């Protein structure tokens, strides 16, 4: 998948960053810098095109003359500097609307700039205070722009320290930052772009012994493993567990792959009093003596995620190498030997960066727990239909709107298996597509007696006279097998009939991952028209699964 | 400074600068690799980034400032910046502070 070209606008020589992005952080990405000249002019000229993303990086004194004067200890014109920041942000917003996505870098000062020392947060004099307020003004003004993101340069500068900046580079090349600073910036930009395209990681698979706790539970028993307590390593393991648990609030799932006796390991998780992670925090586990790579692959297949969605953490370099080689696509970070560094190693991973955090993200751990209960209630063989009917599934269909846009865009960009066309669009692009004449995008929420699965389905329709096209058919694997997929087709067909169409056509676009969607269409009752085209004659409604309740909150 | 240490410093700076170059144009870690001159692949920005990176790293080793970025040196046909080898030889002559 291409993430599109990148356009760099700066009030300094930003060529080093463009080269770092194009040749290392995002190899193969086309990168172009704006012609030299005032940034405000470059912004006013607009973006090179809607397929471009942009990076805008300025120096605060380059944007605000008042701030520049504050740097030389003149009486700061606080209000004027804030107004300069607001005007700049408005220009960024205007520019950003013409891009696929725009990343604006927060303002920073060199770490060696001491300002007024102890007075640097003084309400009237403070330079650091003024810069903080300018950054907040920038972020607040851009808050409503769905495709504009403020990246925090202070993190790069503090990670590198004084070596982030070089006056020599400024004098020699008009670039104030060193290659080391640009390397971190490029990595964060790449992570943000990847997140925007649904490429952020969604699950962390962890080993147990010497990862979640110290010691081998099978040998010493759960009572003697190191977690919590008055012991530096125990505290570190407990803190690492808390850091993993915190990740679940961003929608990242947890799972276990460990060589252990399952009953012994789960007893430790259930009974150790200082365990921050409990059984309900894990979406799945494979605790046995099989090959770890096979276990990782099987676990991902079971929960319907691809290898490129997963991170695998293990203290053993041998196991890490085995999983990296055996399940290509899984991110297997080098892992520190010292448990005191685990939390930092986890927090340093950029692969979880995403453009938004939805309600579904925050509830995902509970959703997976509900899924386990649901699966446990499913008969191994025999009367599946009675089981389906017992679930009391309700599907609520709503039109795409601001209120559900972020989650809809997330689902749209992250779903691989049950995805008809696998289009990848930013939230703004999806909204624009839905608003175009003859288009309609519906979202679907699913609940049953085990819980709320959230917004897990999306249908995109294009109406053209007597023909309606099912452009997008996207369904989370979390709700597959409950006849929700049939309900989506029923609603899509009903909307097409309401628009006067005579037939509904679904064109399947194959990817490496969406064969399940083709299989579903082949068994859906749609008439096959060639290998990849499926047609429903709208003289008849598409059958509705009688045991699924439909709430149609869509006005014609 | 020992020859091996000097070469390693230059190679470390090459690692930094190679991140900014397409894979097909990256500098080889070899004494013969041209840094400044008609046969070099670095443009002026690349040379500045390379030299300033090397100055910092060499300064750490020698515990004092190292100044290699001299505008006259860049144009001098006998500049120590000609190749990786000449640069390492120049670094060898520097004494720790």
Identify the burial level of A347 via C-beta atoms within 10 angstroms of its C-beta, where 0-12 means exposed, 13-18 middle and 19 or more buried: exposed
User: Stretch A481-508: mean pLDDT, rounded?
Assistant: 95
Q: Compute, in degrees rounded to 10, the torsion defined by CA atoms A420, A421, A422, A425.
A: -130
Please name the residue that has the structure tokens 């001491």: A114
pLDDT reported for residue B73: 61
Given A23, A168, A172, which is nearest B20 (Cβ)? A23
Better pLDDT: A443 or A374: A443
A172 touches chain B (CB under 8 A): yes
Question: Is residue A268 pLDDT above 50, yes or no?
Answer: yes
Kindly compute the dihedral angle of the four CA atoms of residues A393, A398, A400, A401, in this order, to the nearest 10 degrees: -120
The whole-number average pLDDT for the span B8-12 is 97
Which of A296, A221, A285, A279 shows the shortest CA–CA distance to A245?
A279
Q: What are the tens digits of pLDDT across the range A528-554?
A: 999 999 999 999 999 999 999 999 887
Question: Does the pLDDT at position A444 exceed 90?
Answer: yes
Q: Do residues B55 and B23 make contact, with C-beta atoms less than 8 angstroms apart?
A: no
Report the Cα–Cα distance between both ends of chain B, in Å, rounded.
Answer: 12
Q: What is the DSSP string of A28-54?
A: T--EEEPPSS-HHHHHHH--S-TT-EE
Query: Nearest by CB to B69, which of A15, A163, A168?
Result: A168
What pLDDT band is residue B94 in, cutting at 50, 70 and 90?
Answer: confident
Does B53 sit within 8 Å of A179, measured CB to CB?
yes
- The span from the CA of A475 to the CA of A418, in Å, is 5
Q: How confident is the model at residue A2 (pLDDT cuts 50, 70, 90)?
A: low
Q: Please indicate whether residue A508 or residue A362 has the higher confidence score (pLDDT).
A: A508
Q: Determine the Cα–Cα distance for residues A487 and A479; give it in Å rounded to an integer.
A: 12
Long-range pairs, A173-176, Cβ under 8 A, ≥24? A173/A13, A173/B44, A173/B45, A173/B48, A173/B49, A174/A12, A174/A13, A175/A12, A175/A13, A175/A14, A175/A15, A175/A16, A175/B45, A176/A12, A176/A59, A176/A110
What mean pLDDT comes out for the span A296-315? 93
Q: Which residue has the tokens 């499913």?
A: A378
Q: How far is the C-alpha of A412 from the C-alpha of A407, rounded, in Å?
A: 8
pLDDT score of A191 more than 70: yes
Cα of first residue to Cα of last residue in chain A, in angstroms, is 36
Tell me A531's DSSP state. S
A181 close to A160: Cβ distance less than 8 angstroms: yes
pLDDT band at A376 (very low <50, low <70, confident <90, very high): confident
Give this complex's ipTM: 0.94
Structure tokens at A384: 């599946």
pTM of full prediction above 0.90 = no
**pLDDT value of position A1:** 40
Q: Extract the tokens encoding A249.
A: 């609030």
pLDDT at residue A373, rounded to an integer: 83
User: Which of A86, A81, A92, A103 is CA-nearest to residue A138?
Assistant: A86
Q: Contact at 8 Å (CB) between A473 and A459?
A: yes
B74: distance to nearest CA of chain A, Å?
A: 13
Mean pLDDT of chain B: 90
- pLDDT score, position B72: 60
Q: What's the CA gap between A437 and A439, in Å, rounded? A: 6
Segment A190-216 shows an average pLDDT of: 94
**Greater pLDDT, A213 or A125:** A213
Give the C-alpha distances (Å, rounded to integers) separating A416 from A408, A427, A498, A508: 14, 17, 29, 13
Q: Residue A174's closest chain B neighbor by CA?
A: B45
A87 token code pair: 């005007």
pLDDT mean across residues, chain A: 93
Q: What is the dihedral of CA B29, B31, B32, B34, to 10 degrees?
A: 70
Q: What percent of chain A has pLDDT over 90?
A: 79
pLDDT at residue A82 tops 70: yes
Q: B22 — phi, psi (to 5°)?
A: -60, 150
A497-530 residue pLDDT tens: 999 999 999 999 999 889 999 999 999 999 999 9
Q: Which strand (E) or helix (H) includes residue A256?
A: strand A253-259
Give the separation between CA A336 and CA A237, rounded to whole angstroms.
13
Token duo for residue A113:
């700039």
Residues belonging to chain B with any Cβ–Cβ distance to chain A shorter than 8 Å: 16-17, 19-23, 44-45, 48-49, 52-53, 55-56, 69
pLDDT tens for A388-426 read 889 999 999 999 998 899 899 999 998 989 999 999 888
State how far the alpha carbon of A72 is from the alpha carbons of A61, A130, A297, in Å: 11, 14, 60
Q: What pLDDT, on the 0 to 100 scale, is given for residue A24?
A: 96
pLDDT bin (cut points 50, 70, 90) of residue B71 is low
Q: How far is B33 from chain A (nearest CA, A)?
A: 20
pLDDT of residue B36 exceeding 70, the answer is yes
pLDDT at A555 over 70: no
Query: Is the predicted pLDDT of residue A3 greater than 80, yes or no?
Result: no
Q: What is chain B's Cα-based Rg?
A: 12
Which residues lie across from B94 on neighbouring strands?
A: none
Res. A457: pLDDT tops 60: yes
Among residues A323, A322, A276, the alpha carbon closest in space to that of A300 is found at: A323
- Output DSSP code: residue A226: B
Q: Is A168 on the interface with B (CB under 8 A)?
A: yes
Q: Which residues pair with A102 in a beta bridge?
A: A54, A148
Contacts of A27 in chain B (CB under 8 A): 23
Tokens of A522: 């082949």
Picking from A15, A22, A168, the nearest residue to B45 by CB comes out as: A15
Query: Which residues 175-204 in chain A show a CB within 8 A of chain B?
Result: 175, 178-180, 183
């Amino acid at each position: 998948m291409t993430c599109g070209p990148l356009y760099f606008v700066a009030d300094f020589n930003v060529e080093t960053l463009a080269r770092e992005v194009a040749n290392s952080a995002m190899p193969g990405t086309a990168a172009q810098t704006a012609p030299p000249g005032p940034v405000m002019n470059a912004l006013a000229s607009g973006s090179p095109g809607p397929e471009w993303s942009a990076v805008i990086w300025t120096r605060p004194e380059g944007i605000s003359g008042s701030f520049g004067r504050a740097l030389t200890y003149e009486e700061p014109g606080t209000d004027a500097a804030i107004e300069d920041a607001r005007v700049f942000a408005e220009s960024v917003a205007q520019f950003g609307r013409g891009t696929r996505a725009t990343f604006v870098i927060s303002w920073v000062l060199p770490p060696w700039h001491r300002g007024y020392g102890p007075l640097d947060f003084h309400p009237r004099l403070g330079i650091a205070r003024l810069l903080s307020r300018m950054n907040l003004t920038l972020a607040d003004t851009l808050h409503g722009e769905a495709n504009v993101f403020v990246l925090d340069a202070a993190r790069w500068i503090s990670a590198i320290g004084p070596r982030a900046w070089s006056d020599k580079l400024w004098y020699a090349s008009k670039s104030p930052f060193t290659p080391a600073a640009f390397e971190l910036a490029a990595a964060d930009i790449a992570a943000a772009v990847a997140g925007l395209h649904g490429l952020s990681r969604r699950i962390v698979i962890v080993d147990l012994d010497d990862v979640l706790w110290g010691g081998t539970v099978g040998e010493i028993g759960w009572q003697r493993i190191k977690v919590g307590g008055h012991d530096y390593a125990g505290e570190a393991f407990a803190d690492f567990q808390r850091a993993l648990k915190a990740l679940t609030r961003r929608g990242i799932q947890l799972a276990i792959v460990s060589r252990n006796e399952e009953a012994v390991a789960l007893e430790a998780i259930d009974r150790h009093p200082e365990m921050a992670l409990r059984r309900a925090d894990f979406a799945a586990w494979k605790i046995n003596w099989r090959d770890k790579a096979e276990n990782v692959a099987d676990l991902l297949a079971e929960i319907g995620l691809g290898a490129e969605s997963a991170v695998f953490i293990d203290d053993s370099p041998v196991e890490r190498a085995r999983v990296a080689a055996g399940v290509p696509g899984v991110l297997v970070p080098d892992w520190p030997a010292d448990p005191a560094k685990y939390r930092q190693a986890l927090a340093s991973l950029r692969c979880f960066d995403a453009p938004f955090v939805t309600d579904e993200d925050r509830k995902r751990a509970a959703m997976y727990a509900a899924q386990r209960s649901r699966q446990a209630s499913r008969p191994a063989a025999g009367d599946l239909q009675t089981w389906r009917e017992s679930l009391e599934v309700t599907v609520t269909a709503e039109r795409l709107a601001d209120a559900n846009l972020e989650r809809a865009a997330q689902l749209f960009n992250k779903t691989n298996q049950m995805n008809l066309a696998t289009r990848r669009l930013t939230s703004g692009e999806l909204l624009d597509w839905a608003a175009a004449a003859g288009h309609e995008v519906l979202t679907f929420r699913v609940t049953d007696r085990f819980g709320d699965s959230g917004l897990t389905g999306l249908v995109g329709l294009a109406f053209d006279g007597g023909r309606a096209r099912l452009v997008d058919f996207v369904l989370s694997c979390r709700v597959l097998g409950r006849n929700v997929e049939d309900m989506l087709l029923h609603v899509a067909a009903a909307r097409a009939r309401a628009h006067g169409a005579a037939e509904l056509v679904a064109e399947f676009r194959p990817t490496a991952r969406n064969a399940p969607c083709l299989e579903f269409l082949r068994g859906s009752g749609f008439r096959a028209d060639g290998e990849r085209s499926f047609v429903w004659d709208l003289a008849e409604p598409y059958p509705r699964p009688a045991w699924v309740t439909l709430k149609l909150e869509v006005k014609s | 400074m020992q020859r091996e240490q000097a070469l390693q410093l230059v190679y470390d700076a090459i690692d930094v600068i190679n991140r900014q170059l397409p894979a097909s144009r990256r500098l080889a870690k070899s004494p013969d690799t041209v840094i400044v001159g008609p046969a070099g692949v670095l443009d002026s920005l690349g040379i500045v980034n390379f030299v300033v990176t090397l100055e910092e790293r060499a300064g750490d080793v020698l515990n004092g400032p190292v100044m290699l970025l001299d505008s006259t040196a860049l144009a001098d046909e006998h500049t120590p910046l000609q190749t990786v080898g000449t640069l390492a030889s120049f670094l060898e002559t520097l004494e720790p502070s």
